[in-house]
Amino acid sequence: MSTKKFILQENDIPHAWYNIVADMKNKPMPMLNPKTKKPVTVEDMEPLFARALAEQELNTTDEWIEIPEQVRDLYKIWRPTPLVRATGLEKALDTPAHIYFKNESVSPVGSHKLNSALAQAYYCKKEGCTNITTETGAGQWGAALSMAAKIFGLELAVYMVKVSYHQKPYRRSIMQTFGAQVVASPSMSTKAGRQIITNSPNNQGSLGTAISEAVELALQTPNCKYVLGSVMNQVSLHQTVIGLEAEKQMEMAGEYPDTVIACFGGGSNFSGIAFPFLRHKILEGKEIRTIAAEPASCPKLTKGRFQYDYGDEAGYTPLIPMFTLGHNFMPSNIHAGGLRYHGAGSIVSQLMKDGLMEAADVKQLEAFDAATLFARCEGIIPAPESSHAIAVTIREALKAKEAGEKKVLLFNLSGHGLIDMTAYDSYLAGDLTNGEVTDEEIEKNLEDVSDLKI
């Protein structure tokens, strides 16, 4: 049982976010305006995004971006978060590896998503918005943003992916308790949603579709901006508080990670924990592996193609240079709703292309085996998303055992699974399937976006 916990003080909360783009030799290719095929500008983004956020999105020069005092002050509600040595899990695996996890599940809404939600709500409020819209998969992002919106006095509409809306009703209730409007996506409330429902009435939704609906509503609502929980550079930026804290805590533990692991949907929590460590790889040539753990049923990094693609299903967003399965990809109904996204953010995609990071795919059953073992060893029931990171950590710990090597592994526990118990019910009842996808399906789906190939 883990009892080694490394605790920082409030003055250890970072004062600036880390912008990895400034340090990358090969910068991510630019996002393109789909009509003009020219690089997107701050002005292009402004109808949809707060200006400060658009500027962060396109900032390729400043290594550090100051965290506004009010945001940093709100981080104190639950930050700094603990770093924990998972001695119980180590013992159960009988591994010489040392396993650490950064516990982002301690936020009042249960995940790392609050790090960016508070920042985005802050800038929207500062620039005079009254309303914001967003999408959410499993609801971790929606719950975080609902809390942030209420704090800043913003009205929020959330499009929640339909399969998650039904799998995870408590997250809908959490959002509503914070005063947000929640709609199952695809819905009849937008053109994008109506079109999908008309074409496939039983469509269970995807993050790509929910983004289309949220963007459409934002564009049609006065004084309204769109905010989002992953994929974009600004989100990766805000999440780096995770890794910046973790670096200090690994120092307290007197160790340095050989490998940093996080689950991967669009990249928010992976970027958050990995980028501050990758900084030393880029700047100092430090040997460190970072592994993105993605679902085998939504394998954009391990089986997708690097090319331009839309961030959403309807094609409202700029063209993003990304590893993608095609923006019309419909992932199977796995419980890790936050990982059901067709593409990877442009920074991560570039890092992947340049061999600066790795990816591994995990089947749903392996993820829940890992989750249940972790819960029973460490006392924390992990989110289905985070369980993918745990599964890859266990693989690495067992490799270390086989090799007889002491490796230091660090993973991000991005959230707890207390609102995902129907998934655990299915698992314990033996009803859970892997929900895979065939290479043929991926191939066929990519064909639809072959005109966007680089």
> What are the residues binding a second copy (CB under 8 A)?
1-3, 5, 7, 9-10, 73-74, 76-77, 88, 106, 108-110, 147, 150-151, 169-170, 173-174, 176-179, 372, 375-376, 379-381, 416, 418-419, 421-422, 424-425, 428
Question: Edge-to-edge strands of the sheet including 259-263?
Answer: 4-6, 83-85, 98-103, 408-413, 259-263, 289-295, 358-362
Rounded to whole angstroms, the Cα distance separating 159 from 308 reads 25
* Minimum distance of a second copy from residue 76's CB (angstroms): 5
Question: Please, which residue, 376 or 444, has the CB nearer to a second copy?
Answer: 376
Question: Please, which residue, 151 or 282, has the CB nearer to a second copy?
Answer: 151
Question: Please, which residue, 170 or 256, has the CB nearer to a second copy?
Answer: 170
* Minimum distance of a second copy from residue 110's CB (angstroms): 7
Rounded to whole angstroms, the Cα distance separating 414 from 267 reads 12
Q: In 253-292, which residue ranges form alpha helices assigned H by DSSP?
A: 268-284
Question: Please, which residue, 215 or 367, has the CB nearer to a second copy?
Answer: 367
Which residue is it, tokens 């605790």? 7
Question: Please, which residue, 140 or 290, has the CB nearer to a second copy?
Answer: 140
Q: Are 343 and 311 in contact (CB under 8 A)?
A: yes
* Minimum distance of a second copy from residue 239's CB (angstroms): 19
* Minimum distance of a second copy from residue 151's CB (angstroms): 5
Interacting residues of 251 by C-beta distance below 8 A, sequence separation 6+ = none
* Minimum distance of a second copy from residue 7's CB (angstroms): 7
Question: Please, which residue, 2 or 190, has the CB nearer to a second copy?
Answer: 2
Question: Please, which residue, 2 or 212, has the CB nearer to a second copy?
Answer: 2
* Minimum distance of a second copy from residue 134's CB (angstroms): 17
* Minimum distance of a second copy from residue 415's CB (angstroms): 11
* Minimum distance of a second copy from residue 332's CB (angstroms): 22
Of 167, 165, 163, 166, which Cα lies nearest the Cα of 142?
Answer: 165
- Helices 421-428 and 364-378 cross at an angle (nearest 10°) of 100
| ω into 80 cis (within 30 of 0) | yes
Interacting residues of 135 by C-beta distance below 8 A, sequence separation 6+ = 141, 142, 158, 159, 160, 161, 185, 207, 210, 211, 213, 214, 228, 229
Reduce the DSSP state of residue 397 to 3 states and report it: helix
- Helices 346-353 and 268-284 cross at an angle (nearest 10°) of 50
Rounded to whole angstroms, the Cα distance separating 291 from 259 reads 7
Question: Please, which residue, 33 or 173, has the CB nearer to a second copy?
Answer: 173
